[in-house]
Amino acid sequence: AGSETYLKAVEQVASRADLEGLKRAIETLKLGWSDLTEEAAKNKQQ
């Protein structure tokens, strides 16, 4: 139990952590997609 202000602050920290995790996941997916398209282009040329 804590004050409403404290609980809101905790929620905001958790939300920021969730957002950072999503940003990292998106960046990882972008890099993976880039690698896949690069490999596909190389395979087409062969």
Residues in the chain: 46
Taking the alpha carbons at both ends of the chain, their separation in whole angstroms is: 65
pLDDT for 8 equals: 95
pLDDT for 46 equals: 81
Q: Where are the alpha helices (DSSP H) in 1-46?
A: 4-45
pTM for this model (two decimals): 0.69
pLDDT for 1 equals: 63
pLDDT digits (tens, 9 = 90+) for 1-46: 689 999 999 999 999 999 999 999 999 999 999 999 999 999 998 8
pLDDT for 29 equals: 98
pLDDT for 32 equals: 97
